[in-house]
Structures are given as structure tokens and as C-alpha cells.
Structure 1
Amino acid sequence: MIEQGQPLPNASLSELTAEGFSSHDTAELFANKKVVLFAVPGAFTPTCSEQHLPGYIALADQFKAKGVDMIVCVSVNDAFVMKAWGDTTGAGEVRMLADGDASFTQAIGLSMDSGNFGGVRSQRYAMIVDNGVVTQLNVEPPKTFEVSKAEALLAAL
């Protein structure tokens, strides 16, 4: 598992916006920025949709006021699902990035096998990334939702 003080591995995350489909190299995406990145086991799932994503949407201005350049939500879903989820929830300032093949999630060592729920998925976590380096990492124990909440990460800034 990736640790605080380590750089994010080079991987690709995809995004679908009104302008079309884009593939983002993580080295370029996180370069020279302070980024809040949080990951969920799946788009449109109960805790993710009712609590996790809404917390970051509601506190986006407070994150920006503390010097955060970008807020990113990552899930092992495709870019079409992530766009639909963002549109449905009014994600606004939160960029909805897809890790369709779980390569990013596996590269940072935060994947889990959810069995028939959806196969390989991401564990629930939140991190602060400063110029590509993880400066804060909060990984949830299974079936919990405390340390990756927006409020917990905001308090760490």
C-alpha cells in the first residue's frame, strides 16, 4: 500500500465531460497542484452516493480556501458511469475520474475483491496529494466510514 511521503505511481484515469472523453496521466494531472483525492467502492452505491461524495461537494469551497487546487473522486467504474453519477449528484467542483481497469487502484495497493458485488474495486480512502506526493492518507477499515469523510480530510489541512 502506498504510504505518506511516497509519489503516486504513473497511471491513467479517464474522464467524460461535455467536451468529450479524456485520458489523464497521473504524473501530469497531479503536478504542481495540491489535490484532495478520495475513492469509493462504487458509483451509485448507498454510502458513496448519500454521504461520501456529498460531503466533498458541500465542503468544496472550504477545501479551496485552504489551498486545494482540485478535488478528485475516483472509482473503479467507467467514465460514462462516473459522468452520470456526477451529473446526478451535482458534483460541481469535484472531478469524477474513472479507473476503469483498476490499474491505478492496484498500483497504489488499495484494491479489494468484492466478489459478486463487482469484482475488483477500490477500498474507501481519502488522501491529500501535493505535487504528486501523498502527504496525508486515510484508509477506511472494512465496512466503516469515518476517516475518509470530507470533514476528516479538511481537518488534516
Structure 2
Amino acid sequence: MIEQGQSIPESVLTELTADGMQNHTSEALFANKKVVVFAVPGAFTPTCSQAHLPGFVALADKIKAKGVDSIICVSVNDAFVMKAWGDAQNADEILMLGDGDASFTQALGLDMDTASFGGVRSQRYAMIVENGVVTQLNVEAPKTFEISKAEVILEAL
């Protein structure tokens, strides 16, 4: 598992935009920037839709006021699902990125196998990344939602 002080591995995440599918490299997302990343086990799932994403939507302006260049939500879903979920949640200030093949999540060592429920998914976490290096990493214990909340990350900034 990635740890504080380590660099984000090279990877590609996808976004569906008005211009079509867009690939984002980890270098483009994180180099020379301060970024908050949070990941969820699945778009449209209960805790993710009722609390995790809405918290970051509500606090996006305050988080960005702390010098954060972007807030990224990642899930092992395709970019189509992430766009639909972001639209449904009014997540205009959040970069909704799909990790459809779980390559980013697995490179971080933050994957989990949910078996027949959904297969390989991301653990729930939030992190602060400065110039490609993880400076804060909050990984939730299974079936908990405490340390990856937007309020906790805002406090850490």
C-alpha cells in the first residue's frame, strides 16, 4: 500500500467530457499541484452517494481556499458512470474520474476484492497529494466512514 512520503505511481484515469473521453495521466493530474483525492468503493452506492461525495461537494470551496488546485473523486467504475454520478450529485467542482480497470487503485495497493458483489473495487480513502507526493493518507477500515470525510481532510489542510 502506498504510504505518506511516496510518489503517486504512473497511471491513467478517464473522464467523460462534452468533447468525449479524456485520459488524464497521473503526471498531468499531480505535478506541481496540491490535490485532494478521495476514492469510493462504487458510484451510486449508499454511503458514497449519501455522505462521502456530498461532503466534498459541500466543502469544495473551503478546501480549494486552502490552496488546493483540484479535488478528484476516483472509483473503479467507467467514466460514463462517474459522469452520471457527478451530474446527479451536482459535483461541478469535483473531477470525477473512472478507474475502469482498477489499474490506478491496484498500483496504489488500495484495492479490495468484493467477490460477486462487484469484483475488484477501491478501499474507501482520502489523501492529500503535493507535487505528486502523498502528504496525508486516510484509509478507512472496512465498513467504516470516519477518517476520509471531507471535514477531516479540510482540517488536515
TM-score, normalized by length of structure 2?
A: 0.99
- Match in the other structure for 2:93: 93
Q: How many residues align?
A: 157
| Aligned-residue CA RMSD (Å) | 0.5
Pairing of 1:71-90 with structure 2 (within 5 A): 71-90=71-90
Q: How far is 1:100 from its partner?
A: 0.3
Q: Which amino acid aligns with 1:69?
A: D
Does 1:104 find its partner at 2:95? no
- Match in the other structure for 2:154: 154
- Match in the other structure for 1:32: 32
User: Helix, strand or coil: the match of 1:126?
Assistant: strand
* Deviation per residue, 1:47-67 (Å, 9 max, x gap): 000000000000000011100
Q: How far is 1:28 from its partner?
A: 1.8
Q: How far is 1:19 from its partner?
A: 2.1
Pairing of 1:1-157 with structure 2 (within 5 A): 1-157=1-157
Detail structure 1 runs of 4+ shifted over 3 Å in the superposition: none
Q: Which amino acid aligns with 1:128?
A: I
Identify unmatched segments of 5+ residues in structure 2: none
User: Helix, strand or coil: the match of 1:97?
Assistant: strand
* Deviation per residue, 1:116-141 (Å, 9 max, x gap): 11100000000000011000000000
User: Helix, strand or coil: the match of 1:136?
Assistant: strand
Q: Which amino acid aligns with 1:22?
A: Q
Identity %: 74
